[in-house]
Amino acid sequence: MALLQISEPGQSPDPHQRRRAVGIDLGTTNSLVATVNGALTQTLPDSSGESLLPSVVHFGQDRVSVGRAARDMLAEDSANTIASAKRLMGRGMADAEGLPYDFVPSPESGLPMFVTRAGAISPVQVSAEILNVLRQRAEESLGGDLNGVVITVPAYFDESQRQATKEAASLAGLKVMRLLNEPTAAAVAYGLDKAEEGTIAVYDLGGGTFDISILHLHKGVFEVLSTGGDSSLGGDDFDEAIAEWVVESAGIAPSRDERRQLLALARQVKEVLTERDSVELDFNGWCAELSRVQFEALIEPLVSRTLRSVKRALRDANLQRDDIDNVVLVGGSTRVPAVREALETLFGKPPLSSVDPDKVVAIGAAIQADILVGNKPDSDVLLLDVIPLSLGLETMGGLNEKIIHRNTTIPVARAQEFTTYKDGQTAMMIHVVQGEREMVADNRSLGRFELRGIPPMVAGAAHVRVTFQVDADGLLSVSATELTSGVEASIVVKPSYGLSDAEIANMIKASFAFAAEDKDARALREMQVEAQRMKESVSAALQVDGHLLSAQEKRDIHVALEDLQAVADQSDEHAIKVHIDRVAHLTESFAARRMNASIKQALAGHNVNEFE
């Protein structure tokens, strides 16, 4: 007889059965997938043994290709071959300007979409294609569906960019357990999270981007102290420098095709010079020798630029060079000896380089995925990340009132109370902002929503509590509640760049409030509720403090209340509003007198000096 096996959802009944988890480095130039296999963490290769999947997607006549096959189409069919889509994740039309593609704004979100022969394709969809290939590769290699993945993102990625990354993953059918900061993943790959305490510089020089992050680790809590870099500086610029040298030395004016050949040659030269002191090169019959010393002189201005960013990041973190305990190298371009030597000179210690710099981020992500999926129940490693940018609200005068400051450990929930600034104000626009600057206009707008149905009160009497909640992935949801009436509204932040303010407001209103057809019914209902509230509160006040009014004033208010009662059950929203406003107007001075009276009462029996 078979005994019934009972297990928690998602928990395996057999403790020895490993769950399938992978870490994914979704890069600008290349992407990788890695997994923990026993004591070994390794990247998973494709059928030809290649781990690196170029982050390029080609939309062909009848099929979509991803990776090297797609990259080979870049020159031939550039309009339908999308590279570096990561740069546009969660970004707006303005960010798409200058890129060599045609864009149209998405009809739903206004975000840029690539115009291809397969139709308009969003950067999220492009990333999903890449993730899909990695998912298939992992499933084949691990022999079944994945239980969960960890995907890495740059530390400076904001809300919208993180949200877009998660959307791409869910399009690709992946269950994301965590978005992990790339520098944190690199530090994990070196086991630096096991140290008691330390300060780590992660130097990430990829093909086209440079990032520097200063992390502080304290008992498993990773804090990003500062980030910096240059989004248009990378190993490709080293190739350019060599190509430029050839063009000048040979005195040639290469055609576009020749230029491409030349760059490919330059890349080989660069790679050979990592191992050797000099290299013979032959470009269409023009021969020369390039020594490593010459090469280093060519790229010196580029390396110096990265070092300036490093120094600035140190200053932002309030640190000196010798405060750094470890330097971690990420990105293929850190193989160039001149880069390593420059870092060793700067920090006075050799950078960590035992893990392949192309794979280190994916490997760190895999280690974390293995823990999160539950394969290491005894692990006491806990990575606590921080938010990279402050989150706040727009307040009067266009000021950014920060609710959660940058570098706050997540998850975090924080509430702040606001109030109305006009008498009888029944709605409040909540504008959520990300960034460090004082003025809202200088920061990023994440979204707006409206809290409606606040009962009319004198200015400053309503208590609107706005709560920000950031989950462990750094994703934000905002809710607002008026405390005396309990009315609520909330949003989850979604990418919304490139839209006008009005469009954003409309979009969010439409999405969180109600469907268009019952919009009017809802507004009427809200108005009726408001009328009821008004009647009750004024009647109650009359009962308690009626003596503060003259007989005429009392009569006027009574008449207005009766009129309000008469329209309240009808379905004319506008008429109800007019009568609510009339009652509010008539009772304005009554409210002021009541407040004065209650203050006098509170003061009675106290010596005035007590309050000075």
Partner 1 sequence: MFQQNYFALFDLPVQFSVDRKALSLAFRAKQSAHHPDKFTHADASAQRESLQASAFINEAYQTLSNPTRRAAYLLELAEGQVRKEHTMRPDADFLMQQITWREQLEDALDVEAIDCLIDDVNKLLPVVEADFVSAYQQGDFEHAHHCVDKMQFIYKLVAEAESKESRLLDE
- If one asks whether residue 378 binds partner 1 (CB under 8 A), the answer comes out as no
Please give the residues from 399 up to 428 whose contact with partner 1 meets the rule CB under 8 A.
Answer: 408-414
Please identify which of the residues 86, 270, 402, 494 carries the catalytic annotation: 86
Answer for the pair 610, 604: CB distance below 8 angstroms, yes or no: no
Residues 6+ apart with CB under 8 A from 119: none
The answer to whether 239 is a known catalytic residue is: no
Candidates 315, 374, 323, 369; CA nearest to 347 is 323
Select 386 or 576, whichever has its Cβ closest to partner 1: 386
| b/e burial code for range 57-86 (CB count within 10 A of at least 16 → b) | bbbbeeebbbbeebbebeeebeebbbbbbb
Q: Tell me: does residue 318 bind partner 1 (CB under 8 A).
A: yes
- Which amino acid belongs to residue 579? H
Q: Read out DSSP for 317-346?
A: TT--GGG--EEEEESGGGGSHHHHHHHHHH
* 612 near partner 1, judged by CB under 8 A: yes
Instruction: Rule CB under 8 A: say whether 10 interacts with partner 1.
Output: yes
Return all residues near 192 (Cβ < 8 A) that are at least 6 apart.
198, 200, 217, 326, 328
At 116, is the secondary structure helix, strand, or coil? Answer: strand
471 in contact with partner 1 (CB under 8 A)? yes
Residue 469 binds partner 1, judged by CB under 8 A = yes
Which residue among 130, 373, 478, 564 contacts partner 1 (CB under 8 A)? 373
> CB of 413: closest distance to partner 1 in angstroms?
4
Centre a 10 Å sphere on the Cβ of residue 361 and count the other Cβ atoms it contains.
31
The dihedral formed by the CA atoms of 498, 500, 504 and 506, expressed in degrees to the nearest 10: -140
The catalytic residue among 159, 167, 182, 530 is 182
With binding defined as CB under 8 A, does residue 458 bind partner 1?
Answer: no
Is 572 a known active-site residue? no
Least distance from partner 1 to the Cβ atom of residue 450, Å: 26
374 is a site residue for partner 1 (CB under 8 A): yes
Indicate which single residue of 266, 371, 446, 499 sits in contact with partner 1 (rule: CB under 8 A). Answer: 371
The reply on whether position 232 binds partner 1 by CB under 8 A is: no
Q: Is 385 a catalytic residue?
A: no
Between the alpha carbon of residue 169 and those of residues 12, 212, 328, 332, 515, the distances in Å are 24, 26, 27, 25, 28
188 touching partner 1, by CB under 8 A: no
Task: Tell whether residue 224 is a contact of partner 1 (CB under 8 A).
Answer: no
Instruction: Let me know how many helices (H) and strands (E) the chain has, helices first.
Output: 15, 26
β-pair type (112-116, 476-482): unpaired
Active site residue 204: yes
**Among residues 259, 276, 315, 422, which is the contact residue for partner 1, using CB under 8 A?**
315
User: Of the ranges 47-55, 207-215, 315-323, 544-552, which one interacts with partner 1 (CB under 8 A)?
Assistant: 315-323
In the bound state with partner 1, the residue whose beta carbon lies nearer, of 58 and 162, is 162
437 binding partner 1? (CB under 8 A): no
Q: Which member of 45, 173, 198, 220 binds partner 1 (CB under 8 A)?
A: 220
User: Is the Cβ–Cβ distance between 448 and 437 less than 8 Å?
Assistant: no
Query: What residues act catalytically?
Result: 25, 86, 182, 204
